[in-house]
Amino acid sequence: MQLELDAVDRAILDELQRDGRATHAALADLVHLSPSACLRRVRRLEEDGIIAGYVARLDRQSVGLGTTVFIEISLNSQHEDLLDEFEAAVRDVPEVVSCYLMAGNSDYLVKVAVEDVADYERIHRTHMARLPGVSNLRTSFALRAVAEDAPVVVR
């Protein structure tokens, strides 16, 4: 169910996506509300699940994970139990940044952050190739990010 958002809600969401650490006073100023009214709206957006949480985005290069790898994974079956087992296992791979169930040529698209090609080889051997039901892995290395973690435009 999609909730109705007015222009002020959308402005709050835009600003929080730019700076999730903004104080309520600063945020209120930016969206032209009193701090108490702004706080009430932010809390409602959190309670309604529109704001799912707050995180710090790390510069992967600075922490030694400058290589991004995309892995298309096909499973040998579409049985629901196997999908559940695969999804539980892939969540346990610490290098996995995201994983999507796909329509199309592969069943899943997995994004991992690694140090370099040798580090990916280690992860491939110890984790990815051992995931339940994997019949095929197709790996692509990103040369650079053009757009990543862009704000969601709420209409």
Q: What is the pLDDT of residue 1?
A: 59
Fold match, 7-47 / 60-141 = no
Instruction: Specify the pTM.
Output: 0.86
Q: What is the DSSP letter of 114?
A: E
Q: Residue ranges per domain, the chain?
A: 7-47, 60-141
State the burial class of residue 35 (Cβ atoms within 10 Å of its Cβ: 0-12, 13-18, 19+).
middle
User: Side chain identity at 49, as an amino acid letter?
Assistant: G
Q: What is the pLDDT of residue 150?
A: 82
pLDDT in tens, the chain (155 residues): 567 899 999 999 999 999 999 999 999 999 999 999 999 999 999 999 999 999 988 999 999 999 999 999 999 999 999 999 999 999 999 999 999 999 999 999 999 999 999 999 999 999 999 999 999 999 999 999 999 888 888 88
Q: 7-47: which CATH architecture? A: Orthogonal Bundle (1.10)
Q: Where are the alpha helices (DSSP H) in 49-148?
A: 80-91, 117-126
The string of DSSP letters for 3-50 reads: PP--HHHHHHHHHHHH-TT--HHHHHHHHT--HHHHHHHHHHHHHTTS
Q: Is domain 60-141 classified as CATH 3.40.1370.10?
A: no
